Amino acid sequence: MTKQLYLAVLIIGILCLPVIGTDGPAVLPPNTSAYSASELAALQAQMSYLQGILSDYALGSDRYFSSTEWMSQDFAAYTAGVLASTGYTTRLVSQEGWSDGEHVWVLVGIPLPTRTAWVPVEASPALGKSQQTLGSIPELVDGAGQMCFQDKYMTFAREVALPDNIPPVASIRVVPTQGNVGQEVTFMALASYDPGGEIVSYNWDLGGVKTSTRCTVRYAFAQEGTYVIVLSVTDLQGKTVTTSTSYRVREGREPASSSSGGGCGCGG
């Protein structure tokens, strides 16, 4: 092999090294410069569906973006956890030099027929504001009229590893243990807890007749019957656990039990 040929082969090999065996997330613009027409149509449909989930006000953590509460990594971890629980592949990435220092956001994997498209998701609200929804896809239209992602989300310095998450424990307590039509019943999540952190949201479904996001909820049933009471709790990494119990309501009106009072003790 001549020296020139050897150098040519060596250079080609070096140029190929970052590609061979590398499956790290690469963010590509969602337009025809990066995807075929069929891929782009599939990607846009999936992104629209994803944005619908991200925009659901029932899923936001309601935590504030501040140095005394949550920072970008907390919001990103929470949003990534919720999305992962719905079947999405997620990764956390970061970049220095943002207004909050090292800023963390989420990359969501969208499966296409021949590859995975990585879509950035900004989980953090504005500084000083609360997270009302899971976040948004930072899209805009470029000068050529094509859709793209904001430049600052196209590259990142490193991936952020999350610690193993221990799921929260959901527990229901009901007072009184059996009620009557028109009687106020108290449903409490007091005994629910998260071994690895804290519970950030509660969601109740009282047999399809009432829902609530409070830790403790009170309700007087208008009809007799057996109601399935469902409680879901979510931790700060977006892991949701659900438990349920049956509650019997009898015919016959009685005044509300004095034992149904008491504070929640767990926020909400």
CATH code of the domain covering residue 188: 2.60.40.10
Q: Are residues 30 and 147 in the same domain?
A: yes
Both tokens of residue 2? 């001549």
Strands 240-250 vs 179-180: parallel, antiparallel or unpaired: parallel
Is 261 a member of any domain?
no
Q: Tell me the average pLDDT across 115-143.
A: 93
| Vertex 93: Cα angle to 88 and 99 (nearest 5) | 125
Q: Which of 125, 159, 193 is the last residue of a domain?
A: 159
Q: Are residues 146 and 96 in the same domain?
A: yes
Name the residue among 156, 155, 148 with its Cα closest to residue 29.
148
Q: Are residues 117 and 34 in the same domain?
A: yes
Q: Tell me the average pLDDT across 115-121.
A: 95
- Pick the most confident of 4-13, 21-30, 155-164: 155-164
Q: Are residues 247 and 181 in the same domain?
A: yes
Q: Are residues 129 and 244 in the same domain?
A: no
Q: Are residues 127 and 70 in the same domain?
A: yes
Domain carrying residue 190: 173-256
pLDDT tier, 142 (very low <50, low <70, confident <90, very high otherwise): confident
* Number of folded domains that form the chain: 2
The pLDDT score that the predictor gives to residue 145 is: 81
Q: Are residues 40 and 109 in the same domain?
A: yes
* Residues comprising the chain, all counted: 268
118-129: burial string, b at 16+ Cβ within 10 Å, e else? bbbbbbbbeeee
Strands 147-149 vs 89-98: parallel, antiparallel or unpaired: unpaired
Q: Are residues 29 and 132 in the same domain?
A: yes
188-210 per-position pLDDT tens digit: 998 898 887 789 899 999 999 99
Is 166 a member of any domain?
no
